[in-house]
A and B are shown apart, each in its own frame.
With several copies, the nearest count.
Chain A
Amino acid sequence: MDLSVNIGELKLKNPIIAASGTFGFGREYSEYFDLNELGGISVKGLTLEPRKGNPPPRIAETPAGILNSVGLQNPGVHAFIEKEIPFLRQFDTAIIANVAANSIEEYCTMVEILSDADIDAIELNVSCPNVQQGCLLFGSTASGISQVTSAVKKVCKKPLIVKLTPNVTDITEMAKAAEDAGAEGVSLINTLLGMAIDINSRKPILANITGGLSGPAVKPVAVRMVYQVANSVKIPVIGMGGICNADDAAEFLLAGACAIMIGTAGFVNPNVWVEVKDGLVQYMENHGFKSIAEVSEALIV
């Protein structure tokens, strides 16, 4: 059975990827399972300079999901290259650098720097709901996405994946804009903007007031968007949003994704990535699928 997946020049040995921001730089989870099991790791969202992130509380539990407002706390792209890449390179898994910035120039500078680093792909994060300027702004309009993507594309020497926000009226316009501007793939969904209030303290639970919703609750919205996008662009689609088990992963592949990312579910079950991989193989055997591509085309409508 062939689990491998190609996204432009990016070769994944299997379609299971750790979702950005939920997996740090792999160090913590490496104590819980063998990172060689993963097709790839999308690292914590990187910025040019180190970022402190937002004040706590940064997480709230909601029905079948969570809200987070980390706010891109990260050591900056240079520290990532010096300290984290060497660690990640010990493992046979693709390193995907998740990049966030406040201006087109900054996106380009970072992509230039990362193009010369030992990574396998770049995931352009134009969809972080937890920082004031930039980022989400670009991701919320087709023109913003095509501006950032085409500018970045000029200096990018790595496969480029654009990560889309679900907080838009028409996700297919965003995906098409990324495709037209030269992206090798799109990944979706980032978090849905949400809010939770403590009715006793009468305060929002998150210090940041609003945060990004992830986990099982968002799965139907994510599956719908993956389905819509897969039917409107030719480039590969990486699906995510609430995947907790192999059945969920199969649902995203059937919706048209060629690979999937898992984040929140790992907080509850640190083995989830391995279990999903093994379960997916089982599912493919039971249904006589020989490759991931076959699953991605198997939906009957």
Chain B
Amino acid sequence: MNYNLKIEKTEMLTEQIFFIRLKSEKIAKNAVPGQFVNIKCCDGLDAFLRRPISILRTDPREGTFDIVYMIRGKGTDILSQLKCGDYLDCMGPLGKGFTLPEKGEKVWVVGGGIGIFPLLFLLERSVDVYKASFLGFRAKDSIVLQNEYEKASDQITITTDDGSYGVHGLITKPFLERLEKEKPDRVYTCGPTPMIKSIAEICIERDIFCEVSMEQRMGCGIGACLVCACKIKHNDDYEYQHVCKDGPVFPAEKVIF
């Protein structure tokens, strides 16, 4: 098998955040929201393992899909040097995605930092539903894809940790405030562990359907090596399931943070 995909477009969204569009009929056709691709950032030893990156959205007609990533270390740094026309080795689509909402439901998505990326795909695939987006960023200069999320949502709330844009503080605040007034049918969340943990707890308390997308360091990316463990309730005990295969999306009430 050959996993080299042609890069159709690259864009620098901020100093740290980059966009890549890749050609793949297979992934464009089969990917569902919440799934990811596992990327070999370069030949050779410099970023030895593959890097998991969420599928931001697909375009089945064009046979392309998009990813957006933030520079964190060696691998993403190397990715940021890729140009249109280069090839990138991606395995995917991988993992279990979100449960799509039913017609007419009220959907709230809550994302923080790089956790917002899998949620756009979910919003775009959720049709005939009411969609509210709660997005938390570090600061104004780290806000990306605002237009896309506005287009994909009926209502959008943005917070920044430093108050440099939108509501000042954590995204959980406006989320809670709105919960006082109304109750969504489904909540989907992805982002820093403290954030998704509190969103999950809030929803469980109120008994609202909630799915969380988890992150964990990976090896094989397909369920064979068992390194990407996520602690999951199992009867009155727990077991380690695996983010790459059983996840990255899990029912909030199942996850032991």
A–B interface present (Cβ within 8 A): yes
Chain A interface (Cβ within 8 Å of chain B)?
A: 21-24, 27-29, 31-33, 44, 52-61, 63-66, 68, 70, 73, 205, 215-216, 264, 266-268, 270-271
Q: Which residues of A have CB within 8 Å of B45?
A: 63-64, 216
CB-CB under 8 A for A22 and B220, given A52-B240, A63-B45, A268-B48: yes
- Residue B225 CB within 8 A of the other chain: yes
Known: A24-B223, A60-B217, A66-B48. 13 other contacts (CB 8 A): A21-B225, A21-B226, A52-B239, A55-B229, A56-B230, A58-B226, A59-B217, A59-B225, A66-B219, A68-B227, A205-B217, A216-B45, A267-B220
The CA-CA distance from A216 to B223 in the complex, in Å, is: 22
B231 touches A55 (CB 8 A): yes
Q: Can you offer 9 A-B residue contacts whose CB atoms are under 8 A?
A: A28-B222, A31-B222, A57-B217, A57-B227, A63-B45, A70-B226, A268-B40, A270-B1, A270-B220
* B218 close to chain A: CB less than 8 A: yes
Separation of A266 and B48 alpha carbons in the complex (Å)? 11
**Min CB–CB distance B256 → chain A (angstroms):** 10
| A23-B224 in contact (CB<8A) | yes
Is B226's CB under 8 angstroms from A29's CB? no
B216 at the interface (CB under 8 A from A): yes
Chain A residues with CB under 8 Å of B216's CB are: 56-57
CA distance A196 to B106 in the complex (A): 45
Over the window 201-232 of chain B, the binary record of Cβ atoms lying under 8 Å from chain A Cβ atoms (1 yes, 0 no) is 00000000000000011111111111111110
Residues of B within 8 Å of A23, CB to CB, are 224
Whether the Cβ atoms of A53 and B240 lie closer than 8 Å is: yes
Q: Does B245 contact A (CB under 8 A)?
A: yes
Contacts of B224 in A (CB 8 A): 22-24, 27-29, 266
Choose among A52, A205, A267 the residue that contacts B50 (Cβ–Cβ < 8 A).
Answer: A267
Interface class of chain A by DSSP = loop
Cα A264 to Cα B218 in complex, Å, equals 12
Q: Is B190 at the interface (CB under 8 A from chain A)?
A: no
Q: What's the minimum C-beta distance from B190 to chain A, rounded to whole angstroms?
A: 17
The reply to whether A73 and B220 form a contact with Cβ atoms under 8 Å apart is no
The interface residues of chain A lying within 8 Å CB-to-CB of B226 are 21, 24, 44, 53, 58, 70, 73
Using CB atoms, name the residue of chain A closest to B231: A55
- Let me know if B228 and A58 touch, CB within 8 A: yes
Contact B240 A73 (CB under 8 A): yes
Task: Kindly report which residue of chain A lies nearest to residue B220, judged by CB atoms.
Answer: A267
Please, which residues of chain B bring their CB within 8 A of the CB of A271? 1
Find chain A residues with CB under 8 A from B228 CB: 56, 58-59
Task: Check B229 against A266 for contact (C-beta < 8 Å).
Answer: no
Whether the Cβ atoms of B219 and A68 lie closer than 8 Å is yes
Tally of A-B residue pairs with Cβ under 8 A?
100
Q: Is B143 an interface residue (CB 8 A)?
A: no
**The residue from B91, B223, B227 contacting A58, defined by CB atoms under 8 A apart:** B227
Residues of A close to B225: CB separation below 8 A: 21-22, 24, 59, 68, 70, 267
A235 to chain B, nearest CB (A): 29
The complex places the Cα of A270 from the Cα of B229 at a distance, in Å, of 21
- In chain A, what residue has the closest Cβ to B229? A56
Q: CA of A55 to CA of B257 in the docked complex: distance in angstroms?
A: 11
Chain B residues near A215 (CB, 8 Å)?
A: 48
Whether A58 pairs with B229 at a CB distance below 8 angstroms is yes
Note all chain B residues with C-beta closer than 8 A to A264.
219
Shortest Cβ distance from residue A125 to the other chain B in the assembled complex, whole angstroms: 15
Smallest CB-CB A-B distances: 5 pairs: A59-B227, A24-B224, A28-B224, A58-B227, A56-B229
Within 8 A of A (CB), among B145-197: none
State whether A59 touches B222 (Cβ < 8 A): no
Of chain A, the residue at the smallest CB distance from B218 is A59
Closest CB in chain A relative to B89 CB, distance in Å: 9
Closest chain B residue to A32 by CB distance?
A: B1
Max chain A C-beta neighbours (<10 A), residue from B91, B217, B220: B220
Beyond A29-B222, A29-B224, A70-B226, whether A58 also contacts B49 by CB under 8 A is: no
Judging by beta carbons under 8 Å apart, are A32 and B222 in contact? yes
- Neighbouring A residues of B239 by C-beta, 8 Å: 52
Measured between beta carbons, the chain B residues less than 8 angstroms from A27 are 223-224
* With known contacts A28-B245, A29-B222, A56-B217, A267–B49 Cβ distance under 8 A: yes
With a CB–CB cut-off of 8 A, which chain B residues contact A52? 238-240
Contact B222 A270 (CB under 8 A): yes
Tell me which residues from 2 to 56 in chain B have a Cβ below 8 Å from any Cβ of chain A.
Answer: 40, 45, 47-50
Q: How far is the CB of B158 from chain A (nearest CB, A)?
A: 27
Given contacts A73-B240, A267-B219, A268-B40, contact A53 B48 (CB under 8 A): no
In whole angstroms, how far apart are the Cα atoms of A28 and B227 in the complex? 14
Cα–Cα, bound, A53→B230 (Å): 11
- The residue of chain A having its C-beta at the shortest distance from the C-beta of B221 within the complex is A267
Name the distance in Å between B124's Cβ and chain A's nearest Cβ.
Answer: 28
Residue in chain A with minimal CB distance to B238: A52
A185 to chain B, nearest CB (A): 24
B229 and A268 form a contact (CB under 8 A) = no
Chain A residues contacting B231 (CB-CB under 8 Å) are: 55-56
